[in-house]
Chains A and B, each alone.
Chain A
């Protein structure tokens, strides 16, 4: 076996790391998660004659001061994991800003390579970067690359191997004398501890401490030298800030790095200032104070049209294929448990997972496109002012609106929110956005209780009040559960770029795989569970008596009637029926009978199931909401007040198992999972009860 070289790929966000990795030929990519967090972990494997190179692509970080969970993951990796070389990727267009991170990384004094990416964009502007000079000044190898033109890509592996074999270079980056004196002073104290025998490591820790790095402060906190180090550190804080007239040593180090980066830039980058380019012209239109919003809304409208209208075709086809398979198998296989479990349990369960794929693929293709072109941050910019009032962030708009289509991809779209609090709040209120599957239920109830000319208005009112409720709850959650400072909003708006198709397609492929793997297991199991509850226990005596009756009638109408009666009675006697009867008292105050209660519970499987369950339980022909029979039956059996209460329950209570499974897959904390599972149902009941009482009070 060859020797393995471990490389950590580090860079600020938007420097094109993913495109760079995708441009590497003969590289094998593996995508997973960092343990315990939903932060994507990409690993690249390259084989050469003598060495195997394993590169871990760390999430983009602006600085070593961790802020988001992604940054924490990257920082922890850099500080605690074993690796041989840091591959630092920077964007040639914003070299001096990117070098700020490079300088922090250089403090670590590890073997390092600087990759200056997107060099083609500099060359297109007739500019150049002196890689040789930059390499001499920084004391590390520098490669100019472009993922687009493949320039320099092959050099990366060669340089990794050379650097691995070469000796560690001497440090070439020093701060000004006043700062260096303090670093030396603190380094000496640290070196008294066996932890920091290595001088370079001690120096790095000293710099991090002067930079007020809390994670590093925790490292020294438990050491015997802590008190001495702490005293020296306090002295440094006060003397340095006094001497240099700054608020904090953080400002001082930052100023120093800015100065160094600026000088490096002047020494090595040759570029003429360009006039207003295409990029700014696009922005003038897309984030125009007045036009920006309608343009954005149009994009969103188009995306959802594509997702849910176009996605409907493959969805139906997939549904048909699975139904056909199930019915064919049902005829071929001998009657019995296996047959029933397979054709009514497992196949529909798998179908329920696969059915969502077209929607997810289209929506994610669109979202990736928006993200990669740089438009997503503009959308956040446009929507932030509005959503801020409700304690949400600008980017939350996309998942929230996706929620009107289907909650499953909407939960996944919430991944674009990097801040965990923003993400949790957004996901917790997503269910208030009525998804497409609830529409049949609304249509049934509205059809039964409202005149046709009011139907549109009522439907609109349902959707709008759901959205408003969601925003109000977002505000409540932010105030009650996430007290304290509001989340800051400082966001880079990267220049518009054409997307890399390979990166687009790779990302889509991995998202699909992850969805099938994670949600797939949850969804299939949950659907199987619901099938079991509504099928068992079998009452063979009942079945036999009906079978005989069915065989004896010739009239097709009556045959159908009997079949429906049988399924209604079977459902009543199943575990599901028992559960329905058991929880009937819960719904009693809303005027629900056990049939409505069962329907509500069945709606957890999928919202459309509410309609088919009601159809079965009220025993009317085919389970379709358009059938006049069902509307008639519902009108006869359900009071107006209870119908409104049911509408409210459907609007607010837990989404289907598919959506819930996706939430569980995305959010690892059990406390949040539990809260998510309980609170919408409590809220739904309270609202339904309130409205029910109100309607009764006004004499309905």
Chain B
């Protein structure tokens, strides 16, 4: 089965984080922002070319690049 990441989601789609596969220091930063296993997230917006993503998690809005969005596996 192919893994689904944040970068596969549509605007206003919700999902649950399964795993953060990023390396340090991105991983700890994502954790500190509340993007952890089991966290519910929602895609609020992305730029036209999907280069940058705006995610809502736990009442916090977080901007991610596509590279980082690909490293968060969701369900």
A binding-site residues for B, Cβ under 8 Å: 12, 62-63, 65, 67, 93-94, 96-97, 100-101, 212, 250-251, 254-255, 258, 280, 283-284, 287-290, 292, 377, 380-382, 384-385, 388, 394, 486, 488-495
Contacts and interface: CB of A to CB of B under 8 A. Distances in A.
A681 B68 CA distance: 38
A385 B47 contact: yes
25 contacts: A63-B28, A65-B25, A67-B25, A94-B59, A94-B60, A97-B59, A258-B37, A280-B44, A292-B47, A381-B47, A381-B52, A384-B65, A385-B49, A385-B51, A385-B52, A388-B65, A488-B67, A489-B63, A489-B68, A490-B30, A490-B33, A490-B64, A492-B33, A492-B62, A495-B61
B36 A381 contact: no
B36 A492 contact: no
A100 B64 CA distance: 20
B34 A97 contact: yes
A255 B59 contact: no
Contact of A488 (B36, B46, B59, B68): B68
A258 B38 contact: yes
Contact of B63 (A284, A290, A377): A377
B51 A493 contact: no
B47 A488 contact: no
Contacts of A101: 32
B14 interface: no
A384 B51 contact: yes
Interface residues of B, number: 36
Contact of B31 (A96, A254, A289, A385): A254
Contacts of A494: 61
Given A63-B28, A385-B52, 13 more contacts: A62-B29, A67-B25, A93-B59, A283-B44, A289-B45, A381-B47, A488-B68, A489-B52, A489-B64, A489-B68, A490-B68, A492-B61, A493-B63
B1 interface: no
B38 A490 contact: no
Interface string B1-30: 000000000000000000010101111111
A97 to B, nearest CB: 4
A283 B55 CA distance: 12
A234 B49 CA distance: 44
Sorted nearest first, the 8 A-B pairs with minimum C-beta distance are: A385-B51, A62-B32, A493-B61, A63-B32, A488-B26, A65-B28, A254-B31, A381-B63
A302 B20 CA distance: 41
B13 to A, nearest CB: 15
A101 B28 CA distance: 12
Contacts of A100: 31-32, 34
Given A250-B27, A488-B68, A490-B30, A289 B63 contact: no
Given A65-B28, A251-B37, A384-B51, A491 B44 contact: no
Nearest to A290: B48
B33 A289 contact: no
Given A97-B60, A255-B37, A384-B52, A488 B44 contact: no
A492 B44 contact: no
Contacts of A94: 34, 58-60
Nearest to A491: B63
Interface of B: 20, 22, 24-34, 36-39, 44-49, 51-52, 54, 58-65, 67-68
A382 B58 contact: no
B51 A491 contact: no
Contact of A380 (B39, B44, B63): B63
A381 B54 contact: yes
B25 A488 contact: yes
Contacts of A394: 52
Contacts of B34: 94, 96-97, 100, 258
A258 B36 contact: yes
Contacts of B59: 93-94, 97
Contact of A62 (B33, B61, B63): B33
B30 to A, nearest CB: 6
A488 B45 contact: no
A381 B48 CA distance: 12
Nearest to A386: B51
A55 B44 CA distance: 39
Nearest to A253: B31
Nearest to B61: A493
Contacts of A382: 47, 52
A664 B28 CA distance: 33
A195 B67 CA distance: 43
B7 to A, nearest CB: 13
Most chain A CB neighbours (cut-off 10 Å) among B37, B59, B64: B59
A262 to B, nearest CB: 9
Contacts of A488: 22, 25-26, 29, 65, 67-68
Contact of A255 (B27, B36, B63): B36
Nearest to A62: B32
Contacts of B20: 251
Nearest to B11: A289
Contacts of A384: 51-52, 63, 65
A212 B27 CA distance: 12
B62 A490 contact: yes
B56 to A, nearest CB: 9
Contact of B62 (A255, A287, A388, A491): A491
Contacts of B22: 488
A256 to B, nearest CB: 10
A495 B34 CA distance: 16
Given A63-B28, A258-B36, A385-B47, A287 B60 contact: no
B23 to A, nearest CB: 8
Contacts of A380: 63
